[in-house]
């Protein structure tokens, strides 16, 4: 094992990694937040109890699920509603949902549930307290929900094909944490081991939502026809995930949290470099890799999307995985430095989509090299956002040229270069993307085009006599944002996306996919260039199955009979 | 009437309000963090920043606490050369001075008539006096010895007067683009049915 611990290979160049097209090709991996969560829940033997399930025949009521860890407990409080189909919308502008949720810090009293029953069902129109860690809502997939209720009530199992076609009975349209609507701030919980990795509160919320939704669908079949109804077979039950419908609201997140972005990417790049540094791949590592590859091939083959961009990407991925499979079956893993050689081959033989899938596959044989890096993915953003005013103006110019050379080469006077405007709409207070040529939006522009903003800053810096950054900012306070980004990017190599985020051909779904891949989502299904649906926790063991399930082996389905 | 908010909510509100009153995004980011810092120590940061928003970005930079605060935390000049100067909403200077104290590893005192703060090198804070948030004051910065016995406990909630919240929201609202039919339809990217 000693040889595993020496890293000979360097991490990848940010200029290669931090491009939108590559970020938009990321896949889930061992460092995804859902997998980190379930590893912990299993390793620490968390227990789960359904302490309340009071849902009537119309499907209206409340349920409580408590997760009990070694030090603390958390409870999902779920409110089920009877929503007329015409009111069902995934848009953030919706005002009613099929179900609404909060993750409660501890075990709620009756008075807590009473208080929350007035606030959670109305979501943004309500208020919560420091006892609530998240607020969320979900809508049914109408096409699958009624079919499954119908089948189960008649004593039949739904068809696997129909289940696979949709993949979930409900999809969340928002999972709010970090102080939203009055919920607990991250500082309140960030000292707890179980919430050290990012988004663990949100992932635990969704994991428990999935359990509730499955119980609810079986309950609805039961009340419809108590004599004939059956529950879902365990194997089929696992095929249901929770859908997630994500629009532009999430897109600016990665730009607004550069240090967090760096830490996510840096952990993944460190893991890749560690695996590439392994001198010999033993039989077990090879066998895990081969199996993971076959599972990825099967998984890609059933990835459905109607979006032309995604269809092409999936087709390319399938072809890449075939080429990869052929290559590694020819003994390519028996040589010295097998993974580094494989990587070099992949860089010239696979598309970006295939390369990034390979990154995830390379992690699977090496949990001992990869999994601990999940501890490095959180960020103290406040402490690292202070401007270093003592830096010389010359040094600022030098790091700007080094990090933003791509932005300094863009002709920002060209209409295509800044065709888009990120703004926040008065109506829903959500991020939106507009066309600059439509006029009227310039005054409302959000600082989400770092390339252009830094280029403007650099132009003034070049013509300014100030000797220090502090003096420069006294003369040009309007560049404070760009200077901060530049200094952050100089300290954190993967903090900045090295692409034009306001260009005419920019695809917001690239930003969405990058973030959702870190959540651990698969089967990205864009509905437009700025809105994507995914599935979360599909194939994961349910809470009552965790103890018996294989360790962290759920993210890609097992091989079907035909593929074994 | 006072209501309780998360620190994130008020930081975000202050950030947008400062931008909405005419400051650049970068200054607004520091202002949001400064307000959060104050609220986490149960000091009236939201009230203080509202006064700055009302004065607007065109008010004199030499008395503006955000301009002075940024210069202080950036280290534009040796901190003890500040001496005594008139400043609007001087409470807002406190977080910037605390960041400077941490960076320079020196304890500093910030005082005006009726109030005296000491910030230490590890974020400690002690307060003496009741005039926490004057509209303007002659502010003195000097060297100090941090008094660890009397430091302010950190809070995780923000108590903000509802009128202050509403007033800040009006400034924040200036950063929002009015909705049009076109933006409703295309801005968020929906279009296909989402009820399936």
pLDDT in tens, A450-507: 999 999 999 999 999 999 999 999 999 999 999 999 999 999 999 999 999 999 999 9
Interatomic CA distance for residues A134 and A140, integer angstroms: 20
Q: Where are the domains of chain A?
A: 1-30+258-375, 33-246, 383-491
Asked if residue A330 has pLDDT above 60, the reply is yes
Chain A residues with CB-CB distance to B184 below 8 A = 425, 427
ipTM reported for the complex, 2 dp:
0.94
Residue A543's pLDDT is 97
Q: Is B26 close to A477, i.e. CB distance below 8 A?
A: yes
Tokens of A177: 């944490």
Chain A residues with CB-CB distance to B30 below 8 A = 480
Q: Which residues, in sequence order, are CB contacts of A110 under 8 Å at separation 6+?
A: none
Mean of the per-residue pLDDT values for chain A?
Answer: 94
Overall average pLDDT of the A513-542 stretch: 93
Residue A3's pLDDT is 47
Question: Among all residues of chain B, which has the CA nearest to that of A428?
Answer: B179
Burial class (CB in 10 A: 0-12, 13-18, 19+), A453: buried
Of the pLDDT bands very low, low, confident and very high (cuts 50, 70, 90), residue A377 is very high
Chain A residues with CB-CB distance to B104 below 8 A = none
Interatomic CA distance for residues A275 and A425, integer angstroms: 45
| Minimal CA separation from B85 to chain A, in Å | 18
| Minimal CA separation from B94 to chain A, in Å | 15
- What is the enclosing helix (H) or strand (E) of A174? strand A168-176
Using DSSP bridges, classify how beta strands A132-140 and A168-176 pair: parallel, antiparallel or unpaired. Answer: antiparallel
Closest CA to B37 of B87, B100, B98, B79: B98
Closest CA to A375 of A273, A274, A263: A263
Chain A residues with CB-CB distance to B194 below 8 A = 89-91, 245, 527
Interatomic CA distance for residues B34 and A45, integer angstroms: 42
Q: Is B190 close to A423, i.e. CB distance below 8 A?
A: no
Interatomic CA distance for residues A151 and A158, integer angstroms: 6
Pairwise pLDDT comparison (A246 vs A511), residue with the higher score: A511
CB A138 within 8 A of CB A537: no
Overall average pLDDT of the A320-326 stretch: 97
Tokens of A555: 């993210």
Ranges in chain B, pLDDT < 50: 190-192
Closest CA to B19 of A418, A482, A381, A446: A446
Residue A382's pLDDT is 81
The structure's pTM equals: 0.95
Residue among B6, B76, B156 minimizing CB distance to A474:
B76
Closest CA to B2 of B157, B181, B178: B157
Chain B residues with CB-CB distance to A425 below 8 A = 176-177, 179, 183-184, 187
Of the pLDDT bands very low, low, confident and very high (cuts 50, 70, 90), residue A25 is very high
Burial class (CB in 10 A: 0-12, 13-18, 19+), A380: exposed
Interval A34-73: pLDDT, tens:
999 999 999 999 999 999 999 999 999 999 999 999 999 9
Q: Is A90 close to B187, i.e. CB distance below 8 A?
A: no
Interatomic CA distance for residues A59 and A562, integer angstroms: 39
Interatomic CA distance for residues B84 and B139, integer angstroms: 5
Of the pLDDT bands very low, low, confident and very high (cuts 50, 70, 90), residue A94 is confident
Interval A420-437: pLDDT, tens:
999 998 887 889 999 999
- What is the enclosing helix (H) or strand (E) of B136? strand B136-143
CB A519 within 8 A of CB A38: no
CB A390 within 8 A of CB A26: no
Residue A385 touches partner B, C-beta closer than 8 Å: yes
Per-residue three-class SS string for A215-246:
HHHHHHHHHHCCCCCCCCCHHHHCCCEEEEEE
Question: Among all residues of chain B, which has the CA nearest to that of A480?
Answer: B26
Overall average pLDDT of the A402-411 stretch: 97
Asked if residue A4 has pLDDT above 60, the reply is no
Residue B171 touches partner A, C-beta closer than 8 Å: no
Q: Which residues of A137-172 are buried (b: 16+ CB within 10 A; e: fewer)?
A: bbbbbeebbebbbebbbeeebbeeeebeebbbbbbb
Residue A381's pLDDT is 85
CB B55 within 8 A of CB B19: no
Of the pLDDT bands very low, low, confident and very high (cuts 50, 70, 90), residue A1 is very low
Q: What percent of chain A has pLDDT over 70?
A: 98
Residue with tokens 């810096």: A461
Q: Is A184 close to B156, i.e. CB distance below 8 A?
A: yes
| A and B: number of Cβ contacts within 8 A | 160
Interatomic CA distance for residues A475 and A452, integer angstroms: 20
Residue B154's pLDDT is 79
Residue B192's pLDDT is 45
| Minimal CA separation from B114 to chain A, in Å | 30
DSSP E strands in A56-166: the ranges are 61-68, 73-80, 99-105, 132-140
| Minimal CA separation from B128 to chain A, in Å | 27
Q: Which residues, in sequence order, are CB contacts of A25 under 8 Å at separation 6+?
A: A313, A352, A353, A355, A356, A357, A513
By three-state DSSP, how is residue B176 classified? strand
Closest CA to B180 of A440, A494, A14: A440
Counts for chain A of helices (H) and strands (E), in that order: 22, 11
Residue B189's pLDDT is 54
């Amino acid at each position: 094992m000693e040889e595993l611990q020496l890293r000979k290979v360097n991490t990848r160049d940010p200029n290669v990694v931090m491009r939108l097209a590559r970020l938009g090709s990321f896949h889930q991996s061992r460092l995804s937040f859902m997998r980190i969560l379930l590893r912990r829940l299993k390793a620490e033997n968390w227990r789960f109890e359904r302490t309340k399930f009071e849902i009537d025949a119309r499907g209206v009521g409340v349920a409580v699920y408590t997760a009990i860890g070694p030090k603390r407990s958390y409870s999902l409080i779920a409110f089920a509603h009877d929503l007329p189909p015409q009111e069902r919308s995934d848009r953030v502008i919706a005002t009613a949902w099929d179900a609404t949720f909060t993750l409660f810090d501890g075990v709620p009293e009756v008075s807590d549930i009473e208080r929350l029953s007035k606030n959670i069902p109305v979501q943004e129109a309500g208020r919560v307290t420091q006892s609530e860690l998240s607020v969320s809502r979900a809508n049914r997939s109408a096409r699958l929900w009624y079919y499954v209720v119908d089948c189960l009530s008649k004593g039949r199992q739904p068809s696997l094909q129909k289940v696979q076609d949709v993949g979930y009975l409900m999809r969340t349209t928002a999972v709010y944490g970090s102080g939203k609507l009055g919920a607990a701030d991250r500082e309140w919980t960030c000292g707890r081991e179980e919430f050290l990795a990012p988004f663990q509160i949100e992932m635990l919320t969704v994991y428990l939502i999935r359990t509730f939704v499955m119980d609810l669908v079986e309950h609805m079949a039961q009340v419809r026809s108590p004599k004939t109804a059956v529950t879902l077979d365990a194997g089929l039950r696992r095929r249901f995930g929770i859908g997630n419908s994500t629009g532009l609201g999430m897109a600016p997140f990665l730009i607004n949290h550069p240090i967090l972005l760096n830490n996510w990417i840096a952990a993944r790049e460190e893991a890749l470099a560690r695996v590439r540094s392994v001198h010999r791949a033993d039989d077990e590592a090879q066998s895990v890799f081969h199996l993971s590859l076959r599972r990825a091939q099967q998984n890609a083959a059933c990835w459905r999307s109607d979006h032309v961009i995604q269809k092409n990407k999936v087709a390319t991925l399938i072809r890449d995985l075939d080429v990869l499979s052929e290559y590694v079956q020819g003994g390519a893993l028996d040589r010295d430095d097998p993974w580094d050689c494989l990587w070099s081959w992949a860089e010239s033989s696979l598309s970006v989509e295939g390369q990034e899938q390979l990154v995830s596959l390379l992690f699977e044989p090496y949990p001992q090299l990869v999994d601990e890096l999940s501890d490095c993915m959180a960020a103290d953003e406040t402490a690292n956002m202070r401007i270093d005013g003592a830096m010389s103006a010359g040094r600022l110019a030098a790091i700007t040229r080094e990090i933003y050379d791509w932005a300094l080469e863009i002709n920002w006077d060209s209409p295509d270069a800044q065709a888009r405007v990120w703004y926040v709409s008065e109506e829903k207070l959500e991020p939106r993307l507009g066309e600059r040529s439509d006029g009227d939006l310039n005054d409302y522009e959000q600082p989400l085009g770092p390339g252009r903003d830094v280029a403007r800053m650099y132009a003034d810096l070049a013509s300014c006599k100030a000797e220090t950054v502090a003096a420069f900012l006294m003369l040009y306070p309007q560049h404070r944002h760009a200077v901060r980004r530049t200094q952050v990017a100089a300290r954190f190599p993967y903090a900045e996306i090295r692409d034009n985020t306001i260009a005419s051909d920019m695809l917001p779904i690239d930003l969405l996919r990058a973030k959702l891949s870190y959540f651990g989502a698969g089967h990205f299904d864009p509905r437009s260039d700025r809105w994507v649906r995914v599935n979360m926790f599909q194939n994961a063991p349910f809470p009552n199955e965790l103890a018996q399930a294989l360790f962290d082996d759920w993210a890609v389905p097992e091989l079907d009979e035909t593929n074994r | 009437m006072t209501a309780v908010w998360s620190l994130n909510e008020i930081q975000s509100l202050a950030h947008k309000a400062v931008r909405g009153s005419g400051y650049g995004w970068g200054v607004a980011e520091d202002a949001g963090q400064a307000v959060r810092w104050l609220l986490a120590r149960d000091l009236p940061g939201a009230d203080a920043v509202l006064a700055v928003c009302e004065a607007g970005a065109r008010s004199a930079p030499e008395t503006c606490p955000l301009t002075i605060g940024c210069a202080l935390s950036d280290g534009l000049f040796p901190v003890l050369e500040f001496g005594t100067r008139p400043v609007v909403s001087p409470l807002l200077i406190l977080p910037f001075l605390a960041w400077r104290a941490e960076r320079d590893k020196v304890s500093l005192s910030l005082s005006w008539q009726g109030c005296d703060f000491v910030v230490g090198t590890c974020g400690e804070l002690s307060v003496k006096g009741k005039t926490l948030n004057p509209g303007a004051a002659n502010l003195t910065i000097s060297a100090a010895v941090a008094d660890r016995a009397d430091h302010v406990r950190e809070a995780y909630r923000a108590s903000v007067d509802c009128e202050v919240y509403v007033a800040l929201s009006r400034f924040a609202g200036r950063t929002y683009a009015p909705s049009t039919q076109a933006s409703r339809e295309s801005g968020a990217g929906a279009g296909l049915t989402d009820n399936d």
